[in-house]
Chains A and B, each alone.
Chain A
Amino acid sequence: MAERGFILDDVSFAYGDKQALAGLNLQIEPGCFYGLVGPNGCGKSTLLDLLMANRNPNSGGIKYNGCSLQQYGRRQLAQQLALVPQDFTIHFAFTVQEVVLMGRHPYLPRFGAVGKDDLAIAQKAMAAIGIGDFAHRYVTELSGGEKQRVVVARALAQETPVLMLDEATSNLDVGHTMEIFNVAQQRVRKQGDTVIAVIHNLNLAAAYCDEMIFMKEGKVAANGPTKETLTPAIIANVFGVESQVNHDQFSDALQVSFRYGSQ
């Protein structure tokens, strides 16, 4: 039986001369919520691009479900992996529903039309994210936060076992952020999906992630269960800030508090 999930074996990647990732060894298992954290420019988005096979490693290999990522076709991958990118600009006046339906593209034959099932899946995704009300509005008229939710719904409509979120809630208020993370968490718990989320807010990560991957300067600084990795020592090493980590009863999760201000 082939190993499920991702296995990264000594993966390195460089943009021209600039080394972005160096010697990454990771295992990403199904049925887990992964948080990918680290300072700006530490290679988080690049790692997602490699996992999506949008870019290929310069050395080392990535296996998904036992096969090298490069052996999959684009369409096959699109039925396995969905990505919510940081950039959510949509350049033409498609309606919200049309954009969400684009999530069904990997399943449609080239000249095939969108079927009833596809429409039902798209509507379910829109309802889950709470954008069902503006299905027929133009995406170009929406606010940044609304657009971001449309893009998340599009990724959900793709119905893939792996969902990657690249700062998918950067423009959202706390309510809408929780809405999206709750939907993602449900998929991990109920369907055994994998979620890999780049998150800047450590407390948000602490509340949702089963596993944390701390990155620093293109390397994995620490990775493992949130309980073990979310420590003041690791936070200090990765982000260079002083912090305290306590269990918070109200949220029933680890929460980080920082010493703000300069001394």
Chain B
Amino acid sequence: MTRISSQNSSKRVATLAVLLILALVGMVVLSTGMGFIQISAGEVLRVILDRITGDTNLTAGLDPLFSYVVMDVRLPRILTATIVGSGLAVCGVLFQGILLNPLADPYTLGISSGAAFGASLALLANITFLGVYSVPLFAFVGAIATLMVVLYLSSFDGQMSANTLILAGVIVGAILAAGISFMKYMADEQVAMIIYWLMGSFASKTWMDVFIALTAVTGGLGVAVFYGRDLNIMSLGGRSSDSLGVETARVRKILLITGSLVAAVCVSVSGIIGFIGLIVPHLMRFLIGPDNRRLAVVSALAGGFLLLCADTVTRAVLPVEVPIGVLTALIGGPFFCYIFRRRQRGMVYG
């Protein structure tokens, strides 16, 4: 168990943040070079700088294909993976903080199932009137609708308890999962697409995806940091936080909606990717303590880094592209079990 005293923890957080930023930037450049066409880090940087500065001398003598591969194929995917990873981690911080349960994440609230249901519906019914955005849009609507149902089920008299919230999320999630199974059973040729979507993927992402995810995630991170100290105080329980001047019910609702929106956008962009939102805040809390303001920022960096690594492994290292959701579950599942056992034995990291 690591011990952190309040005095030296600021330094520790700063160090960790700088390391993570360096690792993230390094990984973006490295990953962009990896793949079927190998491009060196220097060449990647030259292509990117050329686009930013407009100085064509930088790319003189390079294969023009490189520019296309870097800017139009790989970077959108890589950045989307990074941003979605950050978003899922921030969601994890928010949900764990609001629900006072270190094992909470978008799944606990049924939001991911809602998104999956919406996407499956669009795929099954072959809805394409919105072009390529039909499926993400349905996923988004599914996520938001699920959130509203869960909130309705768990609020009584304007009060909302963390336990009923989780319970409502699990129940609604189970109903939706049955619905998804039924749709898979009904679908013939679309079943492969549904399954593919359920397992998550960053293949063929565009700059539009990058932009949508970036807007949602930076917004979410901003809200998380803004209400970070309130969230800290809410870990004392509702009666205490009210008495300390926090408008608990309002802050909880704002953060819950923020987290759900970010989760919905992430899921609608990438399909279902589990465990990032669970593991990353856990690890970071272990390293820097539970202060949610720091936790949100550091988790965003670490989540982006982790998901980018996972996506790079499946895209460029493994001989066959394994769906990213499967990969994160394979890595994250055992980790979850480990944490769960530790908790049960009372060796709570916090």
CB within 8 Å of B: which residues of A? 15-16, 49, 52, 54, 74-75, 77-79, 81-83, 85, 87-95, 97-99, 102-103, 105-106, 108, 110, 136, 138, 140, 151, 154-155, 158
Contacts and interface: CB of A to CB of B under 8 A. Distances in A.
B232 interface: yes
A155 B3 CA distance: 26
B6 A103 contact: no
A91 B163 CA distance: 14
Interface residue range, chain B: 20 to 34
A89 B234 CA distance: 11
B244 A93 contact: no
A90 B285 CA distance: 15
Contacts of A106: 244-245
B55 interface: no
12 contacts: A16-B157, A78-B243, A91-B101, A91-B235, A92-B285, A92-B290, A93-B290, A94-B235, A102-B233, A102-B244, A108-B229, A154-B236
Interface string B95-117: 00000111000000000000000
A105 B242 contact: no
Nearest to A166: B239
A97 B235 contact: no
B15 interface: no
Contacts, number: 92
A97 B291 CA distance: 13
B128 interface: no
Interface of B: 3-6, 100-102, 157, 226, 229, 232-233, 235-237, 239-240, 242-247, 285, 289-291, 348-350
Given A105-B233, A155-B243, 19 more contacts: A49-B239, A54-B242, A74-B242, A74-B247, A78-B243, A78-B244, A81-B243, A85-B237, A85-B239, A85-B243, A90-B236, A90-B237, A91-B100, A91-B101, A91-B102, A93-B289, A95-B5, A110-B226, A136-B3
Contacts of A155: 243
Contacts of A95: 4-6, 289
Contacts of B246: 74, 105
Contacts of B290: 92-94
B242 A92 contact: no
B350 A92 contact: yes
A103 B232 CA distance: 12
Contact of B350 (A82, A83, A87, A140): A140
Closest 3 CB pairs of A and B: A93-B350, A78-B245, A92-B290
Contact of B240 (A16, A83, A140): A83
Nearest to B245: A78
Given A136-B5, A140-B348, A90 B235 contact: yes
A136 B237 CA distance: 21
A106 B157 CA distance: 27
Nearest to B292: A92
A94 B240 contact: no
A138 B3 CA distance: 9
B235 A82 contact: no
A227 B239 CA distance: 33
Contact of B349 (A77, A93, A158): A93
A99 B235 CA distance: 10
Given A98-B6, A136-B6, A87 B237 contact: yes
A79 B3 CA distance: 33
Contacts of A52: 239, 242-243
B240 A158 contact: no
Given A74-B242, A105-B246, A99 B350 contact: no
B18 to A, nearest CB: 20
Contact of B239 (A79, A87, A136): A87
Contacts of B232: 94, 102
Contact of B243 (A15, A54, A87, A93): A54
B114 to A, nearest CB: 26
A199 to B, nearest CB: 18
Nearest to A89: B237
A106 B100 CA distance: 22
Contacts of B4: 95
Given A93-B350, A110-B226, A74 B245 contact: yes
Given A16-B157, A98-B6, A82 B243 contact: yes
Nearest to B226: A110
A92 B235 contact: yes
A33 B125 CA distance: 70
B235 A105 contact: no
Given A98-B6, A136-B6, A75 B239 contact: no
Contacts of A75: 245
Contacts of B240: 83, 85, 151, 154
B200 to A, nearest CB: 29
B289 A94 contact: yes
B236 A105 contact: no
Nearest to A103: B244
Contacts of B239: 49, 52, 54, 83, 85, 87
Chain A CB within 10 Å — which of B3, B229, B244, B350 has the most? B244
A120 B239 CA distance: 26
Nearest to A112: B229
A154 B233 CA distance: 11
Contacts of B289: 93-95
Contacts of A110: 226, 229
User: Chain B CB within 10 Å — which of A74, A81, A91 has the most?
Assistant: A91
